[in-house]
Amino acid sequence: LLSAPGVDKRRAFFRNFEKLGVVEVFDPPDLRKGRDRGEWMDEIAERLRGAGLQPGPGVVELLLEIVGSDGRALEREIEKLRLYLKPETQVTEKAVREVGAGRRELEVWDWCDAVVAGRVGPARAGLRRLLDQGESEVGLVILLASSLRLAALGRTLQEARLLRVPPPGGYGQPSLDPSAEAFLPRNAKGEKPNLWRLGKMTSLCAHRSSTGVRRAVERLHELQLELVSGADRGRALEEGILKLCLD
């Protein structure tokens, strides 16, 4: 009996076992299947309140990014928050970041958000902190490109009145016109962009036109080529990010 998280059934390792005997695969049930993201967000909020906690703005969305659809992981995060905040009950984004799992991922997301929003100070400070922690310059650019492309798509759809996003600090889901579904790209797994993330990126770059965001994507691609050409990566990345924020 072999137990492995995320075993790839397409690889030779797995197929060889099929040749040796009878293989049975037991995948855990997807408890979120058939439920949309909004319903899961409502449940996260209900579980927080059930633990005696009051979620502030952005808390539910941030917890969703941390735990995904893992109910057990959510319970662990709620228990950590309850113990960390005791006797307080108000949960803030800051508290979630201080005790949340996957802090490295959170720092990278925060940095990408700062660049998309054009916040020079947080973008520069976040970049230096990530590089000091050993993050790859090229890797950071690739992750940032994903956020910028999503922002460009969102602004284009918003200007065409096909996407509506809630006001800053508001609680709610973005709404996408059904006719816009055909414009959403798919990743290697065939999945479309997360609607909440699409709305967030769109809100962050509200000060830019869709043309301006697309131009930023092109400049980021040029920056990536510069990094792989052997330039002083740290300095080139910092200068490139500064230009993106100020554009």
Q: Return the closest-CA partner of residue 145 out of 227, 36, 231.
A: 227
Q: How many CB atoms lie within 10 A of CB 208?
A: 19
Domains of the chain, residue spans: 37-99, 103-246
Which CATH fold topology does 37-99 show? Answer: Helicase, Ruva Protein; domain 3 (1.10.8)
Which tokens hold the place of 8? 């790839």
Which tokens hold the place of 158? 């918003």
Q: How many CB atoms lie within 10 A of CB 6?
A: 4
Which tokens hold the place of 60? 């539910």
pLDDT score recorded for residue 29: 46
Per residue in 198-223, pLDDT tens?
A: 888 999 998 899 999 999 999 999 99
Q: Coil, strand or helix: which one is 163?
A: strand
Which CATH fold topology does 103-246 show? Answer: Zinc Finger, Delta Prime; domain 3 (1.20.272)
Contact residues for 144 (Cβ-Cβ < 8 A; gap 6+)? 111, 112, 115, 220
Per residue in 57-111, pLDDT tens?
A: 888 888 887 887 778 888 888 988 998 888 899 999 888 888 876 667 778 888 9
